[in-house]
Amino acid sequence: MDFSCELADGTVLRPVQAADAGPLAGALQANRSHLAPWEPVRAEEFYTVEGQRELIRRRRDDLDAGTALSMVLAGGDGILGLLTLSSIVRGAFQNAHLGYWIAQSVQGRGLMTAAVAAATDIAKDGLGLHRLEAATLVHNMASQRVLEKNGFEAYGTARAYLRITGQWQDHRIYQRLL
């Protein structure tokens, strides 16, 4: 199944490809300080073409195994963000975790809101999932707005949920039934 879709202004949401390693590394380097408050501490290799090539290979393996779907937001300015449906669980659960980031240069334009809407449709209609969940740092209001605009509801706070910026931090947990 083709999981690609057009969002706006020529921006597309599509599965990550091997050819994205260079543009992804460039986007991550350009947005390193912008993303730093929301991300785990990363090894230097993460920001290199080779590091991204390895991650893309693993993401393709996850796609082949049916456990994750990683997609890039690609536009005229190259890679503008990444959205992943991960930890896909089948059986009685039919659930995935949603994670994403967007480039500072296009933040606030509604692109991630549109990408999350498209990913929600892909999760339901393309993957047959019943539920998505997402977690944001409790003070990440922009990400919370993206989720709420897409019908996600907060249902709790997970204390010391993820190690972000080198410290265990609390996250607000969201869900959406599809």
Q: Using one digit for the tens of pLDDT, what is the confidence trace for 101-122?
A: 999 999 999 999 999 999 999 9
Cα gap 66→83, rounded to integer Å: 16
Confidence (pLDDT) at 69: 97
% of residues, the chain, pLDDT over 90: 96
Confidence (pLDDT) at 134: 98
Confidence (pLDDT) at 122: 97
What domains can you pick out in the chain, each with its CATH number? 5-130 (3.40.630.30)
Confidence (pLDDT) at 169: 98
**Residue 5: strand pairing partners:** 13
Q: Which residues does 58 contact at the CB level (< 8 Å), separation at least 6? A: none
Return the closest-CA partner of residue 99 out of 59, 61, 52, 64: 59
Confidence (pLDDT) at 89: 97
Cα gap 37→58, rounded to integer Å: 25
Contact 1, 126 (CB under 8 A): yes
Q: What is the mean pLDDT of the chain?
A: 96
Q: Which residue has the tokens 């993401």?
A: 59
Average pLDDT over residues 172-177: 98
Cα gap 17→40, rounded to integer Å: 24
